[in-house]
Amino acid sequence: MAITRSFINGESVDSPEWYENIDPSTGRSLGTVARATAQQVDSAVSAARAANRSWRRTKPEDRADILTRIANLILRDKEHLARMESEDSGKPLSQARNDVDVSARYFSFYGHAIDTYYGQSIPLSADLHVYTRREPFGVTAHIVAWNYPMQLLARAVAPAIATGNCSVAKPADETPRTAVAFAQLAIEAGLPPGVFNVVTGIGAETGAALSTHTGVDHIGFVGSTRIGAVIARAAADRVVPVVLELGGKSAQIVFPDADLDAASTAVAKAILQNAGQTCSAGSRLLVHESVHAEMVDRVAEHFSRVTIGAGVDDKELGPLVSAKQQGRVKSMVDDLTKGEIVCGGTVPEDESLAGGAYFAPTLIDNVDPVSPIAQEEIFGPVLVVNSFAGEEEAVALANGTEYALLGSVWTADLSRAHRMAADIEAGQVYVNTYGAGGGVELPFGGFKKSGYGREKGCEALDAFTATKTVVVKL
């Protein structure tokens, strides 16, 4: 049985209390996890602040070398990390392997990007030399969700430490092990102790202590809108900048001139990946009335062929992250008042899946667009469908929730595609494809209750630095 401890100032740290890490594929314990106390969170923040005195002055090329070595070590340990991720989260092993690759890419991308991250010279007048500097905030806190533990950690910590900050990360209660492993690999790569710390524990205890700590200069959070609002209020009390990546209810809009084969394949993948536990999942399908029936049939056919099983068995669909999440998804489907369940809608009856937090791929047609199941983030393999008659109605449906994270348009008419891309309220809009957040290089974040600020791409370097303007009289 595994024992998972916090990793503070380059050392593993025990806690007075522990909790069980449950395998969602079986319902059995994988081992125990340390519940970091407020005092241990304070130690981690203090270690980060002490390390920041020298780390922020470390040459960019030296920081770049260390981040690149971290990326290489992550790839070296790919199979071990992928298996831990699959066991903790329940996701198929092949998806976990991809998460390892992407996580390594974050460290290599920001390792290379920091070499060319400059300030500006401003030609104000002949007798003044004016320039800007991008300076790190100091200590950054990162509270990440359980759906993509490695990716979310890497995309937060890599740009933060690349720009000279020192970080304290709090992984999700359910998926703590790979975060600790990354911090240990960072030490092996030559990162000074204290630059990257991990505190494990319960969100209401450890996460709360970190988000309210007076020594934290910047907070990044990935998770629910409800908890994001709590963290934003805590940060506002201290006037600390925050990046929030919250929920989504993203729509895929299919017009009659679209390639329906490609669209139906992408639509199915976008809701089944990671069992639908993706903030950017395409959880709403909006179809032109002339191809509505055909698209529903095509997607249902995809769903009918999906294999289900434990993450480490690498089936197409693994369990939800916990029995609690399984119960939430089931409750939302059971409370349906309008709509036709085309397929799924239940917990699988296969005896081999007993004890796991599984839920069958579910397709619900003709839902009420203002009902909870069409408005709220489900975080499960549940796709709801509505039809529309024209562009204006499609845009109204797409924008008709409190979320605005992603959107997608399927059409052969590029003029229509650009019109729709401009009118859809979302941080990312795809045309004839769907990326569930896209690559490392693409700025990612939302509008409305999907949060604010941007992660990924070069914009993340701006998010973790503040601009200083220097004016010199000549």
SS3 of the chain: CEEECEEECCEEECCCCEEEEECCCCCCEEEEEECCCHHHHHHHHHHHHHHHHHHCCCCHHHHHHHHHHHHHHHHHCHHHHHHHHHHHHCCCHHHHHHHHHHHHHHHHHHHHHHHHCCCCEEEEECCEEEEEEEEECCEEEEECCCCCHHHHHHHHHHHHHHCCCEEEEECCCCCCHHHHHHHHHHHHCCCCCCCEEECCCCHHHHHHHHHCCCCCCEEEEECCHHHHHHHHHHHHHHCCCEEEECCCCCEEEECCCCCHHHHHHHHHHHHHHHHHCCCCCCCEEEEECCCHHHHHHHHHHHHHCCCECCHHHCCCECCCCCHHHHHHHHHHHHCCCCCEEEECCCCCCCHHHCCCCCCCCEEEECCCCCCHHHHCCCCCCEEEEEEECCHHHHHHHHCCCCEECEEEEECCCHHHHHHHHHHCCCCEEEECCCCCCCCCCCCECCEECCEECCECCCHHHHHCEEEEEEEEEC
Q: Please, is 204 exposed, middle or buried when counting C-beta atoms within 10 Å of its C-beta (0-12, 13-18, 19+)?
A: exposed
At residue 282, the 3 state secondary structure works out as coil
* Helix or strand holding residue 403 (H, E): strand 403-404
The end-to-end CA distance of the chain, in Å, is 67
pLDDT tens for each residue of 329-341: 999 999 998 999 9
Place of tokens 């394949």: 265
Q: Where are the domains of the chain?
A: 2-246+450-473, 251-439
Two tokens at 466?
A: 């503040």
Show Cβ contacts of residue 45 under 8 Å, excluding neighbours closer than 6 positions. 139, 141, 168, 210, 213, 215, 216
Q: Please, is 317 exposed, middle or buried when counting C-beta atoms within 10 Å of its C-beta (0-12, 13-18, 19+)?
A: buried
Nearest-angstrom CA–CA distance, 140 and 379: 28
Show Cβ contacts of residue 105 under 8 Å, excluding neighbours closer than 6 positions. 71, 440
- Could you say which residues of the chain have pLDDT below 70? 436-438
Set 87, 245, 391, 425: catalytic member: 245
Nearest-angstrom CA–CA distance, 264 and 101: 27
Nearest-angstrom CA–CA distance, 84 and 97: 10
Nearest-angstrom CA–CA distance, 340 and 413: 31
Q: Which CATH number fits domain 2-246+450-473: 3.20.20.370, 3.40.605.10, 3.40.50.720, 3.40.718.10?
A: 3.40.605.10
Two tokens at 430?
A: 């795809």
Q: How many CB atoms lie within 10 A of CB 215?
A: 16
pLDDT for res 80: 98
Please state which CATH number belongs to domain 251-439: 3.40.309.10
Show Cβ contacts of residue 359 under 8 Å, excluding neighbours closer than 6 positions. 275, 319, 320, 326, 329, 330, 344, 346, 347, 348, 380, 381, 382
At residue 158, the 3 state secondary structure works out as helix
pLDDT for res 374: 96
Q: How many CB atoms lie within 10 A of CB 409?
A: 29
Residue (of 207, 245, 255, 178) closest to 459 by Cα position:
245
Name the pTM for this structure: 0.94
359 within 8 A of 303, measured Cβ to Cβ: no
φ/ψ (deg, to 5) at 242: -135, 140
pLDDT for res 439: 86
Per the annotation, the verdict on 376 as an active-site residue is no
pLDDT for res 162: 98
Nearest-angstrom CA–CA distance, 365 and 326: 21
At residue 201, the 3 state secondary structure works out as coil
Show Cβ contacts of residue 41 under 8 Å, excluding neighbours closer than 6 positions. 168, 199, 206, 209, 210, 213
φ/ψ (deg, to 5) at 266: -70, -40
Two tokens at 188?
A: 């092996």
pLDDT for res 202: 96
